Each structure stands twice: as structure tokens, then as C-alpha cells.
């Protein structure tokens, strides 16, 4: 939870997101510890596809921390911008998948951390879209053992089949291997790609039982919106969306997939058009005092959060 502000920082010379979480009487040690864990996960992550943490501090009333925000704002915003410039959304989606998969692979292999809340609002881009970064480690967890207890969590419509099944069983916690939770992040990223390309969600409804029934039937990239999309791209997304984590694409599978071949070359026209449009914007007179924006909506919504037991 909390409120997030975008502020242009003249010291680091970039757009910075400042997250402010107010303390309250209902706060317990568990909430405080989770927030410190969120800060530590982001502080320890040193990867170009993870937003770096600049500073963290607390006052008697709040805890604040600042991170690289990405002048291109969230993927939700970028999605609309690419649509307006009539960019190749298939290529753009593959680009996002590739960059965030690199971040997820690094987190798990180097830090033993799983993100657990992959969605468009937790992905930000640089102004020219040459940089893609993962943010918000509020639900992230460290994998401590081969099989440990996890709380069902994530955002409805993006949560993995493992989380959906646990909710339907009424479990406050479920036991799983770290690799299984890690592959849940790949499923969520597959949902992001599905939405970027088709403009629709893979689930017809957001009821947990209905989503599980649809998963049993298999999520497919079919229909008129998918007719112009390449067969290899559809195959990759369906692989990422497989209901069985053991048969789901791994990060290495994603990065080595044939749909990623010559991606930078195919991406070049989209990035060039983005730079041209940004040059036009910067040629106009802007008021720098308008750079502060309340982005609390990015951290709100119906989210599956851990329950007390």
C-alpha cells in the first residue's frame, strides 16, 4: 500500500518515484517487517531491468523510499502511446517479455527472490523506451527452502494457476517449490503479453472458480484479434500460460524462443518513431513544476494479499 509520487530529481537527473507509506495504530510488526523486506529486495537487486533504489528513510509518521521511475511511465501508459503511434504491438510485447524475463531470471537465480505481482502497472519504461524496468516488491518473497509455505497473492487476472487453486481450496497458505512460484511469475508475464497484443484479457471473467475452469480448458491465443500475429509468438504466449507449471515455459525457454530471433532489428522502427515523437514534445515549452504526479492508483486495485491464520 501507500501513495507514490513522480518527482524530477535534479541530483540524479531523472524521474524518481517516491513511495510514502503512513504508519498507523493498526500497524503491527509483520507489516513493518514486510515493508523493510520490500526495501531490501530492491536495494540488493543490481540489474538494468530492475528499478534501482536510491534512498530509504522514516519519520515518526511515515516510511519513504525513492527509486528510478522511468520517464516513459508505466507499461499501461506505454501501451496507449504505442497504440497511438500505430506501432507493432506484437514486437513491443515480445520486447517487454524479453526484458522482464531477464529481470525475473536474475532475481531467482542470483537473489532467490520471486516477485509475485507481475502486471502492467509494475513495469516502467525509460522515456525513449530503450529501458524496461520492474518495480514494486511489496509481495515479493525470498525462497528459503526447496518446499516452503506461501500465501496466495497477486493481482486478479494476473495471478498464476497455483495461486488461483489455493484460493479456491480456501487455503491461507500452500506449500510449493520455489521454482513453481518463480514459474508463476512467467504465467503472469504471459497474461501481460496477451493483453498487449490482443487488447483483451485471457480470462472471460475474474471469478476464481471460473478462472480455474477456463485454465483446465487451456488458455489459447485464438480469435480475430490474433489472426495477424505470428505463429511462433502465439505458441510462446500459450506456453507461458500453461496451467501446469512443470509444462510451462521457463525463463531460459522464453529467452531462447524462436520468436525472439532478430527482435532488436524488428524493434528499431518502433523505438525510432518513439524518439521522433519525444523530440517533438521536447521542442515545446514545458513547465517543470508540472512533473509531480500522484500515482497512488498504480498501487491500488483488487489484489490477493496474504491473510492472517
Main-chain phi, psi angles of 291, to 5 degrees: -85, -5
> Where would I find the H helices in the chain?
29-44, 75-84, 89-111, 161-168, 178-198, 208-217, 231-240, 251-256, 263-282
Q: How far apart are the first and last CA of the chain?
A: 21
SS3 label, residue 141: strand
Query: pLDDT digits over 161-218, tens only?
Result: 999 999 999 999 999 999 999 999 999 999 999 999 999 999 999 899 999 999 999 9
The pLDDT tens digits of the residues spanning 56-99 come to 999 988 999 999 988 898 999 999 999 999 999 999 999 999 99
Gap between the Cα atoms of 133 and 41, Å rounded: 15
Residue 103: which of 189, 35, 222, 23 has the closest Cα? Answer: 189
CA dihedral 101, 197, 268, 251 (to 10 degrees): 10
User: Strand, helix or coil at 207?
Assistant: coil
Domains and CATH numbers, the chain: 3-69+284-299 (3.30.200.20), 75-265 (1.10.510.10)
* pLDDT for the residue numbered 306: 58
The region that residue 50 occupies, defined by phi over 0 for left and psi between -120 and 50 for alpha, beta otherwise, is beta
How high is the pLDDT of residue 12?
A: 81
- What digits encode the pLDDT tens for the residues 24-52? 866 788 888 889 999 999 999 999 999 99
Q: Yes or no: say if 262 and 109 are a contact pair by the CB < 8 Å rule.
A: no
Residue 221 has pLDDT above 90, yes or no: yes
CA–CA distance, 99 with 144 (Å, rounded to integer)? 26
CA distances in angstroms from 303 to 177, 178, 296, listed in the order given? 23, 21, 14
Residue with cell 530471433: 261
Instruction: Please say whether the beta carbons of 90 and 266 come within 8 A.
Output: no
pLDDT tens digits along 249-303: 999 999 999 999 999 999 999 999 999 988 776 654 444 434 444 444 434 445 5
pLDDT, tens digit, 9 for 90 and up, residues 119-160: 999 999 999 999 999 999 999 999 998 889 999 999 999 999
3-state SS, residue 50: strand
Apex 88 CA angle, 83 and 94, nearest 5: 110
Mean pLDDT of the chain: 89
Between strands 3-9 and 14-22, the pairing is antiparallel
E strand or H helix at 124: strand 123-125
Amino acid at each position: 500500500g501507500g501513495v507514490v509520487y513522480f518527482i524530477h530529481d535534479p541530483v540524479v537527473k531523472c524521474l524518481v518515484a517516491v513511495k510514502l507509506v503512513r504508519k498507523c495504530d493498526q500497524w503491527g510488526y509483520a507489516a513493518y517487517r514486510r515493508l523493510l523486506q520490500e526495501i531490501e529486495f530492491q536495494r540488493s537487486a543490481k540489474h538494468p531491468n530492475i528499478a534501482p533504489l536510491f534512498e530509504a528513510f522514516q519519520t515518526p509518521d511515515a516510511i519513504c523510499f525513492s527509486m528510478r521511475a522511468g520517464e516513459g511511465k508505466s507499461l499501461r501508459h506505454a501501451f496507449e502511446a504505442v497504440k497511438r503511434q500505430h506501432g507493432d504491438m506484437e514486437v513491443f510485447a515480445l520486447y517487454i517479455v524479453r526484458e522482464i524475463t531477464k529481470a525475473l531470471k536474475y532475481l531467482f537465480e542470483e537473489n532467490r527472490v520471486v516477485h509475485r505481482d507481475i502486471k502492467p502497472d509494475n513495469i516502467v519504461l525509460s522515456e525513449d523506451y530503450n529501458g524496461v524496468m520492474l518495480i514494486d516488491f511489496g509481495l515479493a518473497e525470498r525462497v528459503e527452502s526447496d518446499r516452503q509455505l506461501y500465501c496466495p497473492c497477486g493481482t486478479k487476472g494476473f495471478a498464476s494457476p497455483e495461486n488461483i487453486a489455493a484460493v479456491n481450496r480456501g487455503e491461507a497458505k500452500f506449500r510449493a517449490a520455489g521454482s513453481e512460484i518463480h514459474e508463476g511469475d512467467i504465467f503472469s508475464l504471459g497474461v501481460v503479453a496477451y493483453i498487449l497484443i490482443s487488447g483483451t484479457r485471457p480470462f472471460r471473467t475474474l471469478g476464481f472458480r471460473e478462472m480455474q475452469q477456463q485454465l483446465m480448458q487451456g488458455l489459447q491465443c485464438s480469435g480475430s484479434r490474433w489472426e495477424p500475429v505470428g505463429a511462433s509468438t502465439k505458441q510462446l504466449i500459450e506456453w507461458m500460460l500453461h496451467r501446469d507449471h512443470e509444462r510451462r515455459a521457463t525463463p531460459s525457454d522464453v529467452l531462447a524462443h524462436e520468436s525472439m530471433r532478430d527482435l532488436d532489428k524488428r524493434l528499431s522502427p518502433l523505438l525510432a518513431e518513439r524518439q521522433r515523437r519525444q523530440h517533438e514534445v521536447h521542442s515545446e515549452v514545458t513547465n517543470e513544476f508540472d512533473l509531480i504526479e500522484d500515482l497512488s492508483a498504480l498501487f491500488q486495485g483488487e489484489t490477493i494479499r496474504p491473510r492472517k491464520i
